[in-house]
Structure 1
Amino acid sequence: MDVRHLRGIALAATLALVVGGCGGSEEEEPATEVATEAASEFEAGTRMAELAEAGRIKIGVKKDQPGVGFQEPGADEPTGFDVEVAKIVAAKLGIEPDGIEWVEAVSKNREPFLQKGTVDLVAASYSITDERKEIVGQAGPYYVTGQQLLVREEDKEEISGPEELEGKKVCSVTGSTSIKTVEEEYGADPAPFATYSECVQQLTNGQVDAVTTDGAILLGYAAQQPDEVEVVGEPFSEERYGIGYRKADAEMCQFITETLQESFDDGSWEEAFNRTLGESGVDAPAPPELDPCEES
């Protein structure tokens, strides 16, 4: 599918909103017409056509990772780079932000949520791995980061990198690649929890020696408690964030890949970064090279 065919979708959706707002109650039907028009841009029977026609999508995101995927208590929706990238993909389906249902997807639930249809897509600091691609589809990467460590301020000399982790109690979330790496490669004593917020609380309470995950996530937590915790050392892995979809919906790969490439080219990806992770003072990197889709 040529992504150029999709460029009229966002404009059509905007025009429908304008028409609906100018003519009173009798003008409310164009939203349905726009959804139908968006669906016609895709081959009948594809998952993209189904989602576009419905005009709604369920997307799994993290809600406890500042700058990546985070939702304040009482807020209507989450914020963060993952969230903004997911909105770009939804927009290419003709789906407005109010047509997105944001579902919290902790690390251990991401594959089951896709398999069971709890969500349509996952954009939740979801590292692309061969193991995961045996179970679900992943397209991307749209961001490349690296695993680092968060420690208490007073321990930053004792623990300055992964080489000092042997025998240390290290927290990360259940189902993440990070906890497996520090256990198998550096001899750490793993302490898995459901969320990174719980890990950070365990760290500040003195129950664990360090928290490990992607540097982008840890910087967000460090910014919240600059006098108590600090990110130390250089990245010691490569984590490539992708968007997950049901393995049965193989056609989604090309659609997502083309949408991401267009966002790299037109600057919307960089704008999304600057509005989120860029707020911490980090410059937007060059967009990563996208993986080719496997032929089905």
Structure 2
Amino acid sequence: DFIAEPDSIPFPSRRLLPNGRYRYALWPGKKITTLLTSRGCPYSCIFCDKSVFGSRWRARGPANVLEEIEEIVKDFKIRSIIIYDDLFTLRKERVIEICRGILERGLRFEWKCEGRVDRVDEEMLRWMKRAGCSLIAYGVESGNQEGLDYLRKKTTPAQIRRAFEMTHKAGIRPMAYFILGIPVETFEGGLRTIEFAKELRPEYAQFSILSPFPGTALYDEAVSRGWYREVDAHNPFDRDRKRPVILSENWSEEKLREILREAHRRFYFRGGYLLHRLREIRSLRGIRSLGGVAWGLVRWYFSGKGRR
């Protein structure tokens, strides 16, 4: 059974952790920690493994969340926090109450969270910005309505565009997750998603090949239709990311590798994007952090792993 009262869960014992060693690529050179304010998600995306936290959303009270944030900022001197909730923006009133509490307590720090494009509005985003939110990640997944419908996202390209417009307007940097190789989409549909990613202007775009995990509706369909390629039976969650495990009528392994390579080339190897990231560097540590990420991407792209 799930814990009925999330507020009864003690705060993590951060004193036992090497807090100075944790870093995040989009906050180069800064000490970070993570925070969980809720568990579960009421949505039913076909690819999501909900066997751990389930569909019922259980949230900590704003006061309890604020106490932990105050401990992080004042006791541990950490001023960069990643909120790892599946969906932090689900309840507008709760988000605003937490943001108001951050301001009232005089807590100065930056933070990132996960959101849905249909669960944000201008008022919420303004409060989030005032309270220190600098990054929000959206599961965009596809720029094609047929792909969104297949994934059961219950969103539209118009909603996605509007959410990114509002996020940019609020002064928060949006991030975006995209899925390539959706069975109902063609290679041309994948290219449209890549162009859609460029149109949205996210700070960072993560492109992934659709991958079914046991316990998901996608896994059941992939197995029943003969799309699924077996992986290590001892640990089906430990996968080689370079080897696609779902091959449908529209997507061969060669096409999947090609669309992923095109996504990284067209999105990241643009002069405007590269110049924007270079302008953000403020320290030697920042140069090292971003340089490591960039070198990893270049090495992947020009190696056989990215070009096969």
Q: Which has the higher strand share?
A: 1
TM-score of the superposed pair, with normalisation by structure 2: 0.28
TM-score of the superposed pair, with normalisation by structure 1: 0.29
